[in-house]
Amino acid sequence: MNIEEALKIEYAYMGGEYDVAVVGAGHAGCEAAHACAKMGLKTVLFTLFLDSIANLPCNPSIGGTAKGQLVREIDALGGIMGKVADECCIQMRMLNRSKGPAVYSPRAQMDRSRYSSVMKSALEDMDNLEIRQGHITDLLTSKNAEGKETVCGVRTASGAVFKASAVVICSGTYMESITIRGEVIAQSGPDGLPRSEGLSRSLADLGIPMLRFKTGTPVRINSRQVDFDALTRQDGELDVPPFSYDREMNGAKVPQEQIPCWSLWTTPDTKEIISSNMDRSPLYSGVITGIGPRYCPSIEDKFMRFSDKERHQIFVEPMGKDTNEMYLQGFSTSLPEEVQVKMVHSLPGLSNAVIQRHAYAIEYDLVDPLSLKSSLESKIVDGLFTAGQVNGSSGYEEAAGQGIVAGINAALKLLGKEPMIIDRSQGYIGVLIDDLVTKGTQEPYRMMTSRAEYRLFLRQDNADRRLTPVAHKIGMVDDERFARYEEKQQLIEEEKERLAGVYLGPSPVMEEILASAGYVLPPSGISLMELVRRPNITYDMIAPLDKNRRELPDYVKYAVETDIKYEGYLKLELEKIEKFADMERRKLPENIDYEDIKGLRLEARQKLSKHRPENLGQASRISGVSPADISVLHVYLEMIKRNKNG
């Protein structure tokens, strides 16, 4: 359907003209709209329900392993998630402190309703951005000069037509969604919100391959009836840096008054209730056909798959400052409501707990991410971008990471510039998008640090080093912030250089410091840098030896220490990254006919024709494509190049 056809429908009217229309105001949509507006494009953000902007329909928390790194990366790119999360934080922790800096992961509990209202007002305050409640049912397209479908706008259920040169769809789990509790199936979005109807069909009609996934969420209870004496308390930490680099460089701390979380274990009764009601589980009775995530099974799934385990741990998390509502992490289920009540009452301290919201499973339509480019633009429809759960991911942070990339690239496209591609060596965002668009996914994709090849390099503390220069170049980070960033890098480099240059002879003070870390005195002089390089010796520990040390912010000291300790290993990783980058630079033409290339094995031809990778690096990551096939492609590329030059 094009604009003219849309305007012919009954009650149709022209609602407005924009550069970019973002459909869906979840975590992906908010970042996308924020980025487009920040880059100066006239942007509209559509939501099904204004009060649910940036809703947290599952965990009331942001960050965690790999996800914390994603939030830092979004912030380094000039995104908004980290700032809002810092503002709404009611508890903060740094996970993995004993396991090495590469896997330190910040995680914060959120005040859920505040998160939504802070994000809403932040976006409302932005220039170039309009927020509208509306139900988008159709993507409007016309054929361009080359006969390719190209977006020209969107249409709402009420007949409004909006022109837009680029559209970013961030429909989350809303497209044609159904929620399931036992035998009860409802045509509904998450949290009882309206679902999106028609849009999925509109995309499929354009030839976009669609998939259907399943996910779920646990029970929420009122804390008034909970006996907390039966639960284990878990407090936050006060010395964690905030998500946002701006705040960190301003010396801002995380809130010093925090709300605790709690944990408990299921009882034999819980197991008994679940097993005697398994016949009512839609997952096992065959009602649910969508593919669920392995890392996020429901409680009944856990008991079924690991039947030798007698109990499972459940975390009880506050939903905010101004509410008694609490979230039962680990207690996701699609069993009927009446069974859920019995299950909750079987838990220690919760025998009288009142369920405020029931758990449910949800099934939804999504786009097969194999049909996307690395820029998150569709290979099929020009000017259409998709981000978030609609691309097969799971999690707020994964969604936001894609949202900012899709938003930036929609803007760059309209500005006539090359897309911004974050590769696997630059960030978790790059790993996430590359995995989705080159390998596709069989289940909602969750980011894990082990998915990254260059994990030592992709740390939560250096996301700014990896991404802020890129963001500055495209206008997502202003000059003022960039100057402060550069100042920080200069401090780090100067301090490392200084430590390398200071040599000290053996002394009683040194002996004492070394002994405390289990070392003996070296026979001759040693530099401060060599001392810091040793395991168990910190930058702060050698202060008594370092008379000329100047006062430096914690984040500089931390970066200096990490750089020095990791130097050797980082060098190895960087060598690998260089080779990797060489492959990524070799672009494969869009119209390449793999059937025509002699020397490729049959399997490789089929896989390459199906996945249509953008460069040699992507091609090499497709299973079934061997190094010899890549070698053949390399020769083919050289042939094309020489054909052109000759």
Q: How far is the CB of 579 from other proteins (least distance, A)?
A: 4
- The nearer residue to other proteins, 357 or 451, going by C-beta atoms, is 451
- The nearer residue to other proteins, 508 or 535, going by C-beta atoms, is 535
Give residues with Cβ within 8 angstroms of 203, minimum separation 6: 139, 169, 210, 367
- The nearer residue to other proteins, 35 or 103, going by C-beta atoms, is 103
User: What is the C-alpha separation between 73 and 89, in angstroms, rounded?
Assistant: 18
Tokens of residue 127, six digits: 């220039």
Q: Is the dihedral of CA 9, 12, 15, 21 positive or negative?
A: negative
Q: Is the dihedral of CA 233, 238, 241, 242 positive or negative?
A: positive
Q: How far is the CB of 295 from other proteins (least distance, A)?
A: 5
* Whole-number Cα distances in Å, 171 to 45, 308, 446, 472: 12, 39, 18, 29
Q: How far is the CB of 10 from other proteins (least distance, A)?
A: 45
Q: How far is the CB of 574 from other proteins (least distance, A)?
A: 12
- The nearer residue to other proteins, 94 or 249, going by C-beta atoms, is 94
Residue listed under structure tokens 């978790």: 428
Residue 386: beta bridge partners?
169
Selection from 36, 6, 2 nearest residue 22 by Cα: 36
3-state helix, strand, coil in the chain (%, to 5): 40, 20, 35
Q: How far is the CB of 294 from other proteins (least distance, A)?
A: 5
Residue 343 φ then ψ, to 5°:
-60, -45
CB 622 within 8 A of CB 607: yes
Q: How far is the CB of 630 from other proteins (least distance, A)?
A: 5
User: What is the C-alpha separation between 344 and 355, in angstroms, rounded?
Assistant: 8
Q: How far is the CB of 45 from other proteins (least distance, A)?
A: 28
Selection from 245, 235, 236 nearest residue 86 by Cα: 245
Give residues with Cβ within 8 angstroms of 192, minimum separation 6: none
Give residues with Cβ within 8 angstroms of 546, minimum separation 6: 502, 528
- The nearer residue to other proteins, 54 or 103, going by C-beta atoms, is 103
CB 463 within 8 A of CB 73: yes
What letter does residue 552 receive in the DSSP assignment? -
Residue 63: beta bridge partners?
107
Q: How far is the CB of 640 from other proteins (least distance, A)?
A: 9
Q: How far is the CB of 292 from other proteins (least distance, A)?
A: 11
- The nearer residue to other proteins, 47 or 620, going by C-beta atoms, is 620
Residue listed under structure tokens 């559209």: 167
- The nearer residue to other proteins, 388 or 444, going by C-beta atoms, is 444
- The nearer residue to other proteins, 233 or 417, going by C-beta atoms, is 233
- The nearer residue to other proteins, 476 or 619, going by C-beta atoms, is 619
- The nearer residue to other proteins, 249 or 633, going by C-beta atoms, is 633
* Whole-number Cα distances in Å, 248 to 72, 230, 243, 282, 586: 11, 37, 8, 47, 38
* 3-state SS class at 23: strand
Helices (H) and strands (E) in the chain, counts: 21, 21
Residue 313: beta bridge partners?
265
Q: How far is the CB of 547 from other proteins (least distance, A)?
A: 28
Selection from 560, 561, 529 nearest residue 545 by Cα: 529
Q: How far is the CB of 65 from other proteins (least distance, A)?
A: 5
How many CB atoms within 10 Å of residue 522?
15
CB 281 within 8 A of CB 335: yes
CB 607 within 8 A of CB 420: no
Q: How far is the CB of 477 from other proteins (least distance, A)?
A: 28
- The nearer residue to other proteins, 54 or 600, going by C-beta atoms, is 600
- The nearer residue to other proteins, 250 or 626, going by C-beta atoms, is 626
Q: How far is the CB of 8 from other proteins (least distance, A)?
A: 47
* 3-state SS class at 180: strand
User: What is the C-alpha separation between 253 and 238, in angstroms, rounded?
Assistant: 8
User: What is the C-alpha separation between 14 and 20, in angstroms, rounded?
Assistant: 16
User: What is the C-alpha separation between 37 and 32, in angstroms, rounded?
Assistant: 9
Tokens of residue 233, six digits: 């308390």
User: What is the C-alpha separation between 181 and 161, in angstroms, rounded?
Assistant: 37
Q: How far is the CB of 106 from other proteins (least distance, A)?
A: 12
- The nearer residue to other proteins, 312 or 345, going by C-beta atoms, is 312
- The nearer residue to other proteins, 26 or 383, going by C-beta atoms, is 26
User: What is the C-alpha separation between 326 and 357, in angstroms, rounded?
Assistant: 10
CB 490 within 8 A of CB 560: no
- The nearer residue to other proteins, 379 or 634, going by C-beta atoms, is 634
What letter does residue 101 receive in the DSSP assignment? G
Q: How far is the CB of 481 from other proteins (least distance, A)?
A: 29
- The nearer residue to other proteins, 32 or 180, going by C-beta atoms, is 180
Q: How far is the CB of 598 from other proteins (least distance, A)?
A: 5
